[in-house]
Amino acid sequence: MNWDAELDCLGLLCPLPVLRARKRLIGMAEGQIVRVLASDKMAAIDLPHFCAETGHDYLGASEITGGSAYLIRRGK
C-alpha cells in the first residue's frame, strides 16, 4: 500500500507518537494516508484507539527494523 506522508517517531515514548500523528493528520486532506514509524510498544494500542476516537481509519501495522509501521487514513 502507498502512503502520502511518513512520520518518524522511532525512539519516542507515549504519548508522542499519537500527538505527532494527530498534528500531521490535521494538515492532510481527507483520504490521504500517513505512515507512522514507532518503536514504543504502546503505539500498537494507542494509535488504533486514537483513530477510533477521532474518525480516522486505522489500516494496520507491519514490523520494521527497530519497531513497527502503522498506516492511518485521514477521516473527515
pLDDT category at 75 given cuts 50, 70, 90 is very high
Instruction: Give the domain extent around 20.
Output: 5-73
Identify the three-state secondary structure at position 41: coil
Residue 51 designated active-site: no
Task: Kindly report, residue by residue over 21-68, the tens digit of the pLDDT.
Answer: 999 999 999 999 999 999 999 999 999 999 999 999 999 999 999 999
Quick count: other Cβ atoms within 10 Å of Cβ 48?
16
pLDDT band with cut points at 50, 70 and 90 for residue 1: confident
Catalytic residue among 5, 10, 12, 14: 14
Q: What is the CATH number of the domain that holds 31?
A: 3.30.110.40
Instruction: Extract the C-alpha cell encoding 2.
Output: 502507498
What pTM, to 2 d.p., does this model score? 0.96
Q: Of all helices (H) and strands (E), which one includes residue 7? A: strand 5-9
CA dist., res. 20 & res. 38, Å (int): 11
Give the SS3 label for residue 9: strand
- In this predicted structure, what is the pLDDT of residue 11? 97
| Domain count for the chain | 1
